[in-house]
Structure 1
């Protein structure tokens, strides 16, 4: 009994003794895999009880945990018919109007052991409400979007296995809840969205194993994985995706990147990546800057460049030559968050510039093929954050410009079509 009281007294008095010897802040005491932080100042009437509770908590056996959440994007919209399918027809300028649930996900995650965790997520495969073709969709069965298991061997080496988000660039690895613009970009992974896409993806997801880790005081992150990719007979080569990113200011350790941080922290990150399978490869580089600017708020800049091609070998069993033409993609987002009013205006520019080789264009003249498949996107909007990424409202107007064939042979003209969204988001996890 005397020993217990003495031990409690030592724990309770330790902060005062340390403070008398130096002015360093309180340090975290490591015991096993737990961190115990002794408070800077203790209430003397409860010093012993608090100290003993903190000590005993470190010896508690591990218990698995689980958490459930959801993210929903719903909106009122107006979209010109030619926005998704360009045409010279006069009706292409007509506006489709309606209400939709665009994204509705249930998230389930948990800690299985001290080093193993899992994450699952569902999604609706198509919007509920008015679709791009003007038809109304009222009943949708959910699908499994993510299903992954992560094991942390060390801070420098982790493995993630299962259905997961796959990309060699930052925007393709952003979480839907942390977007700055109204949605993901159009061209960051245009060939990995659906089962009938060249890479047979699932909204940017693929099945495989991904290694990830942090080096240089968590400033340097790497990701390297092998995935199924396109496979029609079980014998296809694996898809390889790799990325490195260096954070010059604050470290970023979240699996899904943020598209804006609303002034929380200081981030300057540069990244580069590769995505390849058979004759296809995609090289990318990106930069992200989020930093307080002035007393009013913070600025966010997100930019990327990609070069991709499906190759020119037509005799390969798994050739992407006719599926992915040679092209470059440029992307830029710029926004400013006013912390007092919780408003964030933003603008976005994207450009897909196709320059196909003759083998990739097939029977179409390469010059015409390039014009038909190239397009650009410009837009802007205003976000209001009721509660950060938890609950917010986004008003946006986006235009998409195509080269549309005229009645004259080999002649094209530029046509621009608009899309207006008023989107509400709620997210909890």
Structure 2
């Protein structure tokens, strides 16, 4: 099997080299030279015009682009928001300032068809942590490191460390979020190296195919990734997604969480994420449309079904790592273009319904209650310069079933306030 994979890889590389080295066989035609920057960089195409020199006569020159994204905020969070227990009071608040994201982005065009993207990140916020301690020194890590080759509009390959998800919110760019942060339940098992899927902030190592069909209305993504691997022999993780855009086409690698009235989007998608006996089926709908003279509406909804299966015999089993569950997600906002304000609301719910084999001996009713939770919140965004510079004020609550006695639970709700500033340039 490994020999076959090696053979396919070498064959693909040889085809890429040949495609780059072969001279064009068609006659030279006078046209404008279109430089298509990598879709993964979420930038507009750049067109060089006004020259009498035929485009094919211009020698290719590799290019590079550098940028940054920073999220910093002042916050207040009630004790128990991230880790509730019966002895934690919802009256206590942790307050402080944090540098939440500090990323350096580097991308560029290597050949006419090959591009790369590299991104760093701080692995934990600088400032006050959820445990109340202050974190002041963090070494950056590699977040994304990917190589993209465009064979055609219908077939591209992206290899390396990249964002992996079967749903839209999990594939959004951090700079284009509508809410203050990503959904709580899009990365519950793929966030850190000690998570069941051994992820890296939603990233994984592998090869991803992507393309556009039907006049760019239909997009597919299909990839194989490392996933959870404890001894080098685990089956690969497979992730797929099929999306159809009924209005404007979307070709960015990272999806937008809101478009601030630029364009008209109605997209529906379905996807899957699987490894060994773990499965995640999802469907999502995204709607962004100018509504009235005042501005535009944004709605983003998703549903997921997950389970780690019930097979306990395999060493690669996810049965005790990912219980059976459903996840519901909804964001709704309206952008007032004249005053550059966008109020939004969010609802999320993680409903655990574990099988007996998944609970480790705990009663399923108790297991389900303790591990299920919901999130509600809202906020107000002010866009100085779109996604480039903005300010976000949000209040979010998280509700848990907290045990008070044997087989007895009470609902407790904890709050979080963020005032977040963002700047982004690329």
Query: Could you state the TM-score of these two structures normalised by the residue count of structure 1?
Result: 0.88
Query: How far 1:32 moved relative to its partner?
Result: 7.4
Partner of 1:375: 373
Verify the 8 A CA contact 2:295 2:336 in the aligned structure 1: yes
Shift of the 342–54 alpha-carbon distance from structure 1 to 2, 3 Å rule, reads farther
Provide the rounded CA distance (Å) in 2 between the counterparts of 1:427 and 1:78. Answer: 24
Verify the 8 A CA contact 1:82 1:93 in the aligned structure 2: no
Partner of 2:85: 87
Q: Which of residues 50, 74, 77 is equivalent to 2:75?
A: 77
Partner of 2:412: 415
Partner of 2:209: 211
Query: How far 1:88 moved relative to its partner?
Result: 2.0
Query: How far 1:33 moved relative to its partner?
Result: 8.6
Query: How far 1:316 moved relative to its partner?
Result: 1.2
Partner of 2:151: 153
Q: Which of residues 348, 362, 373 is equivalent to 1:364?
A: 362
Query: How far 1:296 moved relative to its partner?
Result: 0.1
Provide the rounded CA distance (Å) in 2 between the counterparts of 1:347 and 1:412. Answer: 28
Partner of 1:278: 276
Provide the rounded CA distance (Å) in 2 between the counterparts of 1:244 and 1:84. Answer: 33
Query: How far 1:56 moved relative to its partner?
Result: 4.8
Partner of 2:392: 394
1:428 aligns with 2:425: yes
Shift of the 30–213 alpha-carbon distance from structure 1 to 2, 3 Å rule, reads farther
Query: How far 1:371 moved relative to its partner?
Result: 0.2
In the TM superposition, what whole-angstrom CA distance separates every residue of 1:111-153 from its partner, at most 9, and x where no partner exists? 0000000000000000000011111000000000000000000
Kindly report which structure 2 residues correspond to 1:6-405, keeping only aligned pairs within 5 A, or say none. 31=30, 34-35=33-34, 53-56=51-54, 59-405=57-403
Query: How far 1:84 moved relative to its partner?
Result: 0.3
1:382 aligns to what SS in structure 2? strand
In the TM superposition, what whole-angstrom CA distance separates every residue of 1:337-385 from its partner, at most 9, and x where no partner exists? 0000000000000000000000001211000000000000000000000
Instruction: Say how many residue pairs are matched.
Output: 386
Partner of 1:26: none
2:175 aligns to what SS in structure 1? helix
In the TM superposition, what whole-angstrom CA distance separates every residue of 1:44-101 from its partner, at most 9, and x where no partner exists? xxxxxx96x3435552111000000000000000001110011222545310000000
Provide the rounded CA distance (Å) in 2 between the counterparts of 1:63 and 1:409. Answer: 70
Provide the rounded CA distance (Å) in 2 between the counterparts of 1:65 and 1:218. Answer: 27
Verify the 8 A CA contact 1:312 1:360 in the aligned structure 2: yes
Verify the 8 A CA contact 1:226 1:241 in the aligned structure 2: yes
Structure exhibiting the larger radius of gyration computed from Cα positions: 1
Provide the rounded CA distance (Å) in 2 between the counterparts of 1:356 and 1:269. Answer: 32
- Computed over aligned residues only, the root mean square deviation of the Cα atoms, in angstroms, reads 1.5
1:83 aligns to what SS in structure 2? coil
- Unaligned regions of 5+ residues in structure 1, if any? 1-28, 37-49
Query: How far 1:202 moved relative to its partner?
Result: 0.1
Verify the 8 A CA contact 1:86 1:92 in the aligned structure 2: no
